[in-house]
Amino acid sequence: MFMRDGCLIGCLAFALMACSSDDDAALGRRQNAGGADAGKSIKPDSGWPGTGGVSKDAAPDMVATGGTSGQAGGGGASGAESGGAPACLEATAPCASKDQCCGDLSCDTTTLGQVCCGEIGAPCATANGEDCCRDLLCESGKCVAPDTPPTFQAPFPCGQTWTYQHHSGEVRRALDFINTSGQTDNSPVLAAAAGTATRHYEDGGAGNYIVVTHGGGWKTYYFHLQAFSVPDGASVTQGQEVGRVGTTGASTGPHLHFEELLDGVGKDIVIDGQSLAPYPSAYWVASLKSQNCP
């Protein structure tokens, strides 16, 4: 009986030593699978009781694979390094050199300081020329020299045909327009070019009228309006409605009195690059089809 019990105790001890050896070998294989991270310590887990080994559930996440990490210290590229930053700077963005600016933009001064900006002929989108270099102005969507007149368009809607006249009592070099269709009263009055619109009233003269300041000394006047369509001081685009035709002030019937002025001096009306002079002294002698289209 003693021998049998002694044999039994010895056999159990041998079996336990064999199991412990197998567990240690398995743990060694898991540690060696870590490549460059095999020498790192692995936090003990209670998943394998009594062994101090790695939990079966935690092991896949805790064992490093030796690849490049995208986290801090792992050598991965950051968002900015992988293309997060813009490839070039748009107009009005601060710059240090031309090669930072997109396309044909230059790096020069405007009222905003040293920014990416357009040269003559470049597209622009600001009423005061902030996206045009130096003293260039933004006229009708393009950067132009200060002494370049805007490309004025007809002050009435796209596709409509209006007849015009200049009578002896007319101020400066103005023209009066009426719609050939007979629908003059309450017709939309459009900005001939982009600029800043201001509202005015003159009793016994212009009545309700709009002045659009275009820059470079150029202005356009729109007299005898029955209503304003924009707030005082509004920035307007070419073709934007600024008022409605009426007969306020010194007027005998609905019509649009239109002027183009440079430094306060009336100039011959030029529409789409074509002068309307010499002026007819009566309606129905000459007419103009509007190209003031969106």
Domain ranges for the chain: 98-144, 161-289
Give the angle 23-27-31 at the CA atoms, nearest 5°.
170
Q: How confident is the model at residue 85 (pLDDT cuts 50, 70, 90)?
A: low
Cβ–Cβ < 8 Å for 220, 152: yes
Pick the CATH number of 161-289 from 3.40.50.10470, 2.20.25.90, 3.40.50.150, 2.70.70.10: 2.70.70.10
Output b/e per residue, 87-112; b: 16+ Cβ within 10 A. Answer: eebebbbebeeeeebeeebbbbebee
pLDDT digits (tens, 9 = 90+) for 39-70: 333 333 433 333 333 333 433 343 333 433 33
DSSP state of 68: -
Terminal-residue alpha carbon distance, the chain: 112
pLDDT digits (tens, 9 = 90+) for 159-189: 999 999 998 877 789 999 999 999 999 999 9
pTM for the whole thing?
A: 0.60
